[in-house]
Amino acid sequence: MAWNRPDWLPRALAALLVLTLLAPAFGWAAGQVGYAEPLENAAEATDATEHATAVGTALFPDYGVPGLGGATGTFVSAVVGTALTLLLGAGIGRLLGADTDQRQ
Partner 1 sequence: MHIPDGYIDLPLALLFGALAVVVLSVAAKRVNGEISDARAPLLGVVAASIFAAQMLDWPIPGGTSAHFVGGAFAAILLGPHLGALCVATVVTIQALVFGDGGLVVLGANVFNMAVVEVYVGYAIYRLLVPYGEFRAAFVAGWLGITAGALTAALQLGLSSAFQYQLLTTLSIMGVGHLVLGLIEGAITASVYRYLARARPDLRPNAAPEVSA
Cα separation, 73 vs 59, in Å, equals 12
Interface with partner 1, residue 72, by CB under 8 A: no
Taking the chain, what is the end-to-end CA distance rounded to the nearest angstrom?
11
Residues sharing a CB contact under 8 Å with residue 43, sequence separation 6 or more, in sequence order: 49, 52
Q: How many chain residues bind partner 1 (CB under 8 A)?
A: 69
Q: Please state the closest distance from residue 79 (CB atom) to partner 1, in A.
A: 9
The 42-71 contact track toward partner 1, x by CB under 8 A, reads: xx-xxxx--xxxxxx-xxxxxx--------
Phi then psi for 64, rounded to 5 degrees? -130, 170
Whether the CB-CB separation of 70 and 28 falls below 8 Å is answered with yes
Q: Determine if 9 is a binding residue for partner 1 (CB under 8 A).
A: yes
Please pick, from the candidates 6, 14, 66, 67, the single residue that binds partner 1 as defined by CB under 8 A. Answer: 6
C-alpha angle 78-81-87 in degrees, rounded to nearest 5:
135
Query: Where on the chain is the footprint of partner 1 (CB under 8 A)?
Result: 3-6, 8-9, 12-13, 15-16, 19-20, 22-23, 26-27, 29-30, 32-39, 41-43, 45-48, 51-56, 58-63, 74, 77-78, 80-94, 96-101
